[in-house]
Amino acid sequence: MINKIALAGCGNVGTALLEILHEKKDELREKYGFEYKVVLVSDLMKGVIMDPEGLDLGAALESVRETRTFEKLPRAEGSFEELLERSGATVLAEGTPTNLKTGEPGLTHIRAALSRGISVTTTNKGPIALAFDELTELAKANGAQLSYEGVVMSGTPFIDMMKSGMAGCTAIRVEGIVNGTTNFMLTKMGEGMEYGAALAEAQALGYAEADPTGDVEGWDAAVKVSILAKILFGADVPVDKVERTGITKVTPAQIEEAKKNGRAVKLIAGLDASGAQLRAYVEPKEIPASHPLASINGGTNAITVTTDNLGDVTLIGPGAGRRETGQALLGDMIRMSK
């Protein structure tokens, strides 16, 4: 079966997905039996292009390189829902920016696809945090699949590891570094860079949210904690119920002082189900240098999950970035196609 891909949101991540698809077309077919056509790309800034026979990705990417838009290709007219139907898409890759209050526009896109039996992969944390049960049910009712690997650790497959590789293990505790922007900033501040410069560099690298307040105030890490609470513990922990402290008050002097005492300042996110109540938190902590999380630097993320059958398992890998998050969408699509 040929996967007919619709892409909603073609910013850093969506463009990276198109680049990978274009570069690896033959490899994807030969290694994974994954054949595709991109039939629809919809982006608020770049424009909307559609071809049920498959868009010319080379031309689309060239247009983006030259004009930052799709203006060199014929423009498609109509609502997202109409275009989704007319395109004949079989899978939606949803990569619009996260809005933690409304989940939009991702939520509308995902509902539109699932209700038509079109499977979805998303990197958008809003809809998954706000409407996990509804969307899971909608997928089931319409014989579609819903995947969201990229909402935690970008393309580093923590969710797949838990669902597939570690199937049968029960999680007891999770602790980790799940925000690339703040980890990058804390690393750079430890090297003497000022807060504002470190944030600007994290933005330039494509790590930060469209509104980076979400990163530095700990909201992004909190939403990941909320999503992991659902996936790992089946618990409803709304984002605003996660105990949350960001890094806005952390200073280079504090990092320097911690370093002198053999410690590293890290924004730690965690879930602890060992007590009577599930504890969910995000807070800057001083970690002893000997602790595995102390050496996780830059945009890298790491999560240690404590389980009954395997004890501690730690996964380390990129947690943000264009191509890294594009990989999350691709990996989901390959897994779903199987």
Q: Quick one: which segment of 12-20, 206-214, 267-275, 304-312 binds ligand HSE (CB under 6 A)?
A: 206-214
Per-residue string for binding with ligand HSE, 140-179, x by CB under 6 A? --------------x------------------------x
Is residue 241 part of the annotated active site? The answer reads: no
Q: Taking the complex as a whole, how short is the minimal distance between the CB of residue 219 and ligand HSE, in angstroms?
A: 10
Q: Is 209 in the site for ligand HSE (CB under 6 A)?
A: yes
Instruction: From the candidates 140, 224, 230, 338, give the one annotated as an active-site residue.
Output: 224
Cross-strand partners of 91: 5, 119
Question: What is the 3-state secondary structure of 62-112?
Answer: HHHHHHCCCCCCCCCCCCHHHHHHHHCCCEEEECCCCCCCCCCCHHHHHHH
* Residue from 18, 48, 107, 320 binding ligand HSE (CB under 6 A): 320
Distance of CA 314 to the CA centre of its chain: 19
Query: Whose Cβ is closer to ligand HSE: residue 63's or residue 179's?
Result: 179
Q: How many residues does the chain have?
A: 338
Residue spans of alpha helices (H) in the chain: 12-23, 25-32, 57-67, 80-87, 106-114, 125-141, 158-160, 180-190, 195-204, 213-216, 219-233, 252-260, 322-337
Q: Whose Cβ is closer to ligand HSE: residue 301's or residue 307's?
A: 301
Angle, nearest 10°, between helix axes 252-260 and 180-190?
A: 70
Region of 8-16, 205-213, 255-263, 289-297 interacting with ligand HSE (CB under 6 A): 205-213
Q: Which is nearer to ligand HSE, 42 or 179 (CB)?
A: 179
The binder of ligand HSE chosen from 63, 90, 181, 187 (CB under 6 A): 181
Would you count residue 187 as binding ligand HSE (CB under 6 A)? Answer: no
Rounded to the nearest 5°, which phi and psi values hold at 236? -90, 105
Up-side HSE of residue 263: CA atoms within 13 Å toward CB?
12
Nearer of residues 63 and 326 to ligand HSE, judged by Cβ: 326
Question: How many residues lie near ligand HSE (CB under 6 A)?
Answer: 11
Q: Which residue of 43, 94, 220, 332 would you call a contact of ligand HSE, by CB under 6 A?
A: 220
Picking from 49, 9, 50, 40, the residue whose alpha carbon sits closest to that of residue 322 is 9
* Catalytic center residues: 224
Question: Where on the chain is the footprint of ligand HSE (CB under 6 A)?
Answer: 154, 179-181, 207-209, 215, 220, 319-320
